[in-house]
Structure 1
Amino acid sequence: MADVGAAGAASAGRHRCLAYHRPVSLRLYDTGTRKVRDFVPRVPGKVGVYLCGLTLQGPPHIGHLRSGVNYDVLNAWLRHGGLDVTYVRNVTDIDDKVLAKAEDQGRPWWAISFENERRLAAAYAALGVRPPTYEPRATGHIPDMIELIDTLVERGHAYAPGNGDVYFSVASFAEYGALSHRKPEDMLSVVDGDESAKRDPRDFTLWKATKPGEPADATWPTPYGRGRPGWHLECSAMARRYLGDGFDIHGGGTDIMFPHHENEIAQSKGAGLDFTNFWVHNNMLNFGGTKMSKSLGNTMSVEALGERGFRPVEIRYYLVAPHYRSAFDFSDTALGEAAAAYGRLDTFVRRVADLAGAKSTVDGQLMPGFVAALDDDLGTPAALAVIHETAREGNSAVDAGREDDAVRAAASVRAMLGILNLDPLSPQWNDEGGAELTPVVDSLVSMVLEQRQQARARKDWATADAIRDQLARAGLSIEDTAAGARWSVDKERGNGGGR
């Protein structure tokens, strides 16, 4: 095992690294039991993960993208432990909200769904969220849903009153409410379907009969009549289709724990399926103390934040930094602080790369504190703290002329950031926004910096200051190093000055 970053026995003890691959020792908070439990796959070496995706009535904002980023980290950590992960993240392309949006806009419902599906895929890609193994659409799995309905009717958990709807009988399932810790007798009625046809106001719709005025292509034929699926039914059917009768982890936001996930449990277990071993819920990214809504999509999208000067990698850092179970409020200030924090890591990694050249390509190792943090219910705040500490000590090694220590620290920082898909030198982040222009810009800035250096050499401080101020106003930060001046994008904008 190698020591990283600082001399002396105390420093060596702090910096002893772990081998890059290690067995899985992950503990996850299971919402179902309200406990942190050891994660043990059902099948050794394999993991099945299902995440409830988005309903496609509108474009995504970063509040929607938080779950995708969180589960991207979870899947990366599972794969790092040598596990073969099958990851399913659905999209709901048919829904009351989609149909209402189609009517408002005078467009086909499927056109709106597909347009927003493409936007969602682009936003995930921009934030470095790796694609799932499978990304099923609800409309592609109608036969699976009908099969599940038939089973529930046969087992006495569902009924068809003859109006084209099919309802799940909440009273028939004794465990209903266990996930959300609610008692069925204390629940309000569900406004869902034809209330007069329900045996119990709390029953929910599995299949919705065609309503007057709805487009014909939004319905499918079934033994119960033409109609379309209920939202809750979709995920039970798709999870079973791709992950089998039982799987390891079911994810989603806390906002849909009830009724959506509660209803999934009732449907799947009512049909005799094992369903999931773990419920892992991410908390909300809020705006002004309330959950972000679709109406904020235009101002909180990745594109809109990019127009305000934030890079996608900085947005990803912002979403990774809080613990996935913590709610937090969006603010420009907090996003700016996250961008600055990531900028410090970026600067350190590039500083060592400039200094050490080919030597900086050594394989990095993970710090024990980083591993312990992620093993402890994906503790990203503590994991990032370890990364920043390693970078600080690496910078100290550079300043002290300990190049080998600096290289090892930078390699370790890159390895840890790589798990979080935040490595500054990854092609993901170096292809942003016109990478083909980077050599041109670098050449032009280098010419200006050479002029500044000539001014400094002849002690023309006024010209040197003016050049630096002009670069700062253009959004560039200049750092004078032993290897010469280097530039980076300055998120503070306009803080230049000085020789």
Structure 2
Amino acid sequence: MGLQLFNSLTSRAEAFVPLTSGPVRMYSCGPTVYSQAHLGNLRAYLFSDVLRRTLQWSGYAVESVVNITDVGHTVGESDLGEDKIEAAARRELRSVRELTDHYTELFRQDLATLNVLPATHQPRASDYVPQMVEFARVLDERGYTYRLPSGLYFDTSLDPDYGLLAKAKAGLVEQRDLGEEGKRHPADFAVWRSDTPDERRVMRWDSPWGPGVPGWHLECSVMSLALLGSPFDLHTGGVDHREIHHVNEMAQSAAYLGIPAADWVRTWMHNEFLLSGGQKISKSAGRMPLLSDVAAAGLDPMAFRYLVLTAHYRRQLNFTEAGLRGAATALGRLRTRVPAGAPLVGTTFDEIAGTLSPAGREWLTRIDTALTDDLNTPRALAEVTTMLRSDLDPAEQRTVALAADTVLGLGLAGPADAVVAGDAGPTVPDGMLEQDVAAIEELVARRQEARAARDFAEADRVRDELHELGVEVTDTPDGPRWTVTGGS
């Protein structure tokens, strides 16, 4: 069937067909660098990394953009109010540039730690403000905007497709806060925010509408146009962007280019939230686990990547310490199962499949089928685990595992050290065979993977299988503990 991707614009999985014969062009909304990215933020970049790796696995070259928002994003996500960057700089007693450089570097370090491939381009919004002014000027000349004391606003009523991506135009408009007196319609948004008489921002640029700063939505339209051209293949981001930010990007870009809104980007893809206690992880809610917290808990940070891959990107994932510890144990076990041997030769499915026996190609095809079915990483992980327990030749087991890892990015050729610090291990009877312990731990890990993916029916099935073997599992804050109590 080839690569199938779920398109938020059409609400269905579609065969991926590049727009041109050149590299696939892909834009991913980057962070606002006023604080450190939390684990919920990082899920978006793990998703886009798997997407990029899957494209490359399928034989495509990829040109990717992940922007750095260092201006224009207001506190509270509205068109009015203080810029998040300036507020944070005052709070931390840093200059704006010191603050943004610091958090940009931390963001890059987190991505490197999680084995996320570096983007082809990582532009800073502040470097593109002159192009943003010109973009807004064109919109103004064409009659898509109107002026208020607070800035230049886009008139959403002039876009017949406004809200198409969110699938809720009427409801979307009704739910917006007017924010600024004088707005013609609730959903209208600022493309330029002008200084008021009693306000002087640290970051400000001259414009035909007075000194000020660009609206937050403007930057992605301008930078994608400058770096990828138009139209382009893929635009990704968190599911929260689908409702407003991406809707506004689409509206202003279509108006600027003079094309239907749906023609700007071929495929839109959005990852679901990471949850904590059933609620979205967010800075405003005070739930902000960081990647550094994972290492501080004595775990390999790559355990977080493994945990994220146990759930499909379009499903919400509840983050718990127990789930993370289970992921760390499962990752360590997976690494130990990969036979030693030669490095991988080839980077795409076709290149690697040609080096394998019919049995090896069959396993590789099963993994490819999972990955190209809208990035089904939970199924791909299950196929890799099952393959490593099969009777496939060890040298081919290694080849297939490392081939899958070109997409999964888990470092399966690396050391099997993703373990819990101070883990006392299970309680087992004296004389129990090592292979029996390994089999039980494999089942315990499968139960944790199912729980992390919120597949509770599978978790219960594995628990019953353990019970039949006389194994009781206790879930603790430090992860699952098992004890052999006797057979049934």
Q: Same fold (TM over 0.5)?
A: yes
- Structure 2 residue aligned with 1:384, among 378, 381, 384? 381
* Cα distance change on mapping 1:430 and 1:50 into 2, 3 Å: farther
Instruction: Note the C-alpha offset of 1:85.
Output: 0.6
Q: In structure 1, how many angstroms separate the alpha carbons of the residues matched to 2:49 and 2:399? A: 22
Q: Secondary structure of the equivalent of 1:304?
A: helix
Q: What does residue 415 of structure 1 align with?
A: 403
Instruction: Note the C-alpha offset of 1:294.
Output: 2.2
Q: For residue 218 of structure 1, what is the amino acid of its counterpart?
A: M
User: Given the alignment of the two structures, is residue 276 of structure 1 paired with residue 276 of structure 2, yes or no?
Assistant: no
Q: For residue 142 of structure 2, what is the amino acid of its counterpart?
A: R
Aligned 8 A contact 2:281 2:287 in 1: no
Q: For residue 112 of structure 1, what is the amino acid of its counterpart?
A: L
Instruction: Note the C-alpha offset of 1:67.
Output: 0.9
1:239-269 CA deviation, whole Å, 9 max, x = no partner?
Answer: 1111112100010010111210110110001
Q: In structure 2, how many angstroms separate the alpha carbons of the residues matched to 1:186 and 1:126? A: 38
Q: In structure 2, how many angstroms separate the alpha carbons of the residues matched to 1:369 and 1:303? A: 35
Asked which structure has the greater CA Rg, the reply is: 1
Aligned 8 A contact 2:333 2:416 in 1: no
Q: What does residue 367 of structure 1 align with?
A: 364
Q: In structure 1, how many angstroms separate the alpha carbons of the residues matched to 2:413 and 2:174? A: 53
1:179-217 CA deviation, whole Å, 9 max, x = no partner?
Answer: 111124762374576x22423333111100124665544
Q: For residue 309 of structure 2, what is the amino acid of its counterpart?
A: V
The aligned runs of 1:318-357 (5 Å cut-off) are: 318-349=307-338, 352-353=339-340
Q: In structure 2, how many angstroms separate the alpha carbons of the residues matched to 1:225 and 1:306? A: 48
Q: Secondary structure of the equivalent of 1:188?
A: helix
Q: In structure 1, how many angstroms separate the alpha carbons of the residues matched to 2:384 and 2:146? A: 56
Q: In structure 2, how many angstroms separate the alpha carbons of the residues matched to 1:83 and 1:217? A: 43
The aligned runs of 1:174-185 (5 Å cut-off) are: 174-184=160-170
Aligned 8 A contact 2:276 2:287 in 1: no
Q: For residue 29 of structure 2, what is the amino acid of its counterpart?
A: C
Instruction: Note the C-alpha offset of 1:295.
Output: 6.1
User: Given the alignment of the two structures, is residue 59 of structure 1 paired with residue 49 of structure 2, yes or no?
Assistant: no
* Cα distance change on mapping 1:185 and 1:421 into 2, 3 Å: closer
Q: In structure 2, how many angstroms separate the alpha carbons of the residues matched to 1:340 and 1:387? A: 16
Q: In structure 2, how many angstroms separate the alpha carbons of the residues matched to 1:301 and 1:186? A: 32
* Cα distance change on mapping 1:305 and 1:298 into 2, 3 Å: farther
Q: Secondary structure of the equivalent of 2:160?
A: coil
Scaled by the length of structure 1, what TM-score is found? Answer: 0.75
User: Given the alignment of the two structures, is residue 248 of structure 1 paired with residue 233 of structure 2, yes or no?
Assistant: yes
- Write 1 or 2 for the structure with the bigger share of helix: 1
Q: For residue 425 of structure 1, what is the amino acid of its counterpart?
A: A
Q: In structure 2, how many angstroms separate the alpha carbons of the residues matched to 1:152 and 1:299? A: 38
- Structure 2 residue aligned with 1:265, among 220, 230, 250? 250
Q: In structure 2, how many angstroms separate the alpha carbons of the residues matched to 1:169 and 1:246? A: 23
The aligned runs of 1:187-206 (5 Å cut-off) are: 187-188=173-174, 190-191=176-177, 195-206=180-191
Q: In structure 2, how many angstroms separate the alpha carbons of the residues matched to 1:182 and 1:377? A: 24
User: Given the alignment of the two structures, is residue 128 of structure 1 paired with residue 119 of structure 2, yes or no?
Assistant: no
Q: For residue 394 of structure 2, what is the amino acid of its counterpart?
A: A
* Cα distance change on mapping 1:191 and 1:110 into 2, 3 Å: farther
Scaled by the length of structure 2, what TM-score is found? Answer: 0.76
Shifted more, 199-208 versus 239-248: the winner is 199-208
Q: What does residue 154 of structure 2 align with?
A: 168
Q: In structure 1, how many angstroms separate the alpha carbons of the residues matched to 2:289 and 2:195? A: 35
Aligned 8 A contact 2:34 2:103 in 1: yes
The aligned runs of 1:401-480 (5 Å cut-off) are: 405-426=393-414
Q: In structure 2, how many angstroms separate the alpha carbons of the residues matched to 1:72 and 1:412? A: 20
Q: In structure 2, how many angstroms separate the alpha carbons of the residues matched to 1:304 and 1:374? A: 30
Once the two structures are aligned, what percentage of the paired residues are identical? 34
Aligned 8 A contact 1:317 1:342 in 2: yes
1:65-99 CA deviation, whole Å, 9 max, x = no partner?
Answer: 11111111111111122212110011111132222
Q: In structure 1, how many angstroms separate the alpha carbons of the residues matched to 2:240 and 2:422? A: 46
Aligned 8 A contact 2:27 2:224 in 1: yes
1:2-42 CA deviation, whole Å, 9 max, x = no partner?
Answer: xxxxxxxxxxxxxxxxxxxxxx9211100011011111000
Q: How many residues align?
A: 409
Instruction: Note the C-alpha offset of 1:321.
Output: 2.0
User: Given the alignment of the two structures, is residue 146 of structure 1 paired with residue 146 of structure 2, yes or no?
Assistant: no
Q: In structure 1, how many angstroms separate the alpha carbons of the residues matched to 2:236 and 2:51? A: 11
Q: What does residue 453 of structure 2 align with?
A: none
Q: CA RMSD in A?
A: 3.2
Aligned 8 A contact 1:60 1:301 in 2: yes
Q: For residue 188 of structure 2, what is the amino acid of its counterpart?
A: D
Q: Secondary structure of the equivalent of 1:75?
A: helix
Q: What does residue 475 of structure 2 align with?
A: none
Q: For residue 134 of structure 1, what is the amino acid of its counterpart?
A: H
* Cα distance change on mapping 1:170 and 1:295 into 2, 3 Å: closer
